[in-house]
């Protein structure tokens, strides 16, 4: 994963990206972001420690390319559950 640049978004923007919706790029007071590449290069989009999506920046928007659902699974549906 270290060869793909990563950037951070807020939880609100993470939910939008998780639903496949683009979110604006930029240093907005109510939407702090860090290290989102300002090009069409694929990057990892993180909300805290959670990988939300692989995305590209196009036309001033972070556009999800692949959305990831890293929902923890514990219990009877967990494949490692005895």
Residue written as tokens 């939880």?
11
Tokens of 47: 């909300």
Least confident of 23-37, 39-53, 57-71: 23-37
Least confident of 8-17, 19-28, 47-56: 19-28
Q: From CA 64, how far away is CA 45, in angstroms rounded? A: 9
Query: For position 49, what pLDDT does the model report?
Result: 87
Query: For position 81, what pLDDT does the model report?
Result: 47
Q: What separation, in Å, do the N-terminal and C-terminal C-alpha atoms of the chain show?
A: 31
The total number of residues shown for the chain amounts to: 82
Q: What is the pTM of this model?
A: 0.69
Percent of the chain scoring above 90 in pLDDT: 27
* pLDDT band at residue 65 using 50, 70 and 90 as cut-offs: very high
């Amino acid at each position: 994963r270290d060869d793909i640049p990563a950037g951070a978004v807020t939880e609100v923007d993470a939910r939008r990206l998780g639903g496949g919706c683009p979110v604006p790029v930029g240093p907005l007071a109510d939407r702090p972001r860090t290290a989102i590449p300002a090009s069409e290069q694929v990057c990892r989009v993180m909300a805290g420690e959670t990988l939300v999506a692989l995305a590209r920046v196009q036309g001033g928007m972070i556009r999800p390319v692949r959305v990831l659902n890293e929902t923890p699974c514990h219990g009877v549906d967990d494949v490692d559950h005895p």
